[in-house]
Amino acid sequence: MQIWNSLNEVPQDFGPCVVTLGNFDGLHRGHQEVLAQVRAEAAARNARSVALTFDPHPALIHRPESAPAQIMGLADKMVAMGDLGLDGVLVMPYSLEFAQQSPEEFVKSVFVDALGACAVVVGHDVRFGRGNTGDLNTMVGLGAELGFDVVVVDDEGHDRRWSSTWVREALGKGDVDTAAQVLGRRHSMSGEVVHGAARGRELGFPTANLSPDACGIIPADGVYAGWLVDADQHRWPAAISVGSNPTFVGVNRQVEAYVLDRPAEPVEAFDLYGQHVVVEFVQRLRGMVAYTGPEALIEQMHQDVLDSREILREH
């Protein structure tokens, strides 16, 4: 899959293309259905399949104080799109200046001139152009004028429409099971393993701490069974703690994973520091609890490990 970060990077002879547009935050099952339609249309027309997305998310530009947390980072989104079999993704830098384009200017410069669109795949609620004044009728009219077909994806037939909002709601409750159903895969975070307070090591449970700038929404505080995927793509079963650990004072909110089946070697020899890892959340075990002291916490952590092993045997 080719990735372009500006219109100038798109090869002049890349088209014709079947194109869709969206933020694709989380790349959930609704997005996957749209992209599957793009691929099918492209195959039928002997064309390339392309998605147009934006960075940063438009909400971060127009209303940064209320912009929703992003379910996944841009790099992870590109990997997921590549796994879906697209030929190309155009990542348009989003700014207030870019947002001032009229619907006609936007469609002509991006879809027609840069991508050579022979068809554009959209949902019934598509919005584009300055002030989101362009809608489905606008797109159909521009298609007739500029020479491309408009294919409308039917999103009926679900009790609730797949959405990024649904994923955020589920993760906010720690309901990673529902989030996985909407996403079509387990929710994950990715980032560098950094040094923490080494409190887990002192308690006998050394953990890999994700950097505070790790990509992906942090689910509700609690303990989860899941997986840690290291830089060599080895998948380790893990018990994952999310929160500030209320048993100890002055601990910032963090995500840390205790690898269950680490090699039988000194802790120092199993060194994940500095590695870029992925943490996948399978099931929430419990909420975060303040214990009376380290002994009670250690006892609970042993139980968390047993519970995690049992759950992960089924996954």
Q: Give me the active site residues, please.
A: 256
By three-state DSSP, how is residue 80 classified? Answer: helix
Q: CA–CA separation, 49 vs 120, rounded Å?
A: 10
Q: Are 27 and 167 in contact (CB under 8 A)?
A: no
Q: CA–CA separation, 92 vs 31, rounded Å?
A: 18
8-12 long-range Cβ contacts below 8 angstroms, 24+ apart = 10/88, 10/90, 10/114, 10/115
- C-alpha closest to that of 132 among 99, 98, 159, 157: 99
Q: CA–CA separation, 70 vs 152, rounded Å?
A: 26
- C-alpha closest to that of 259 among 200, 198, 179: 200
Q: From the DSSP assignment, how many helices (H) and strands (E) are in the chain?
A: 10, 12
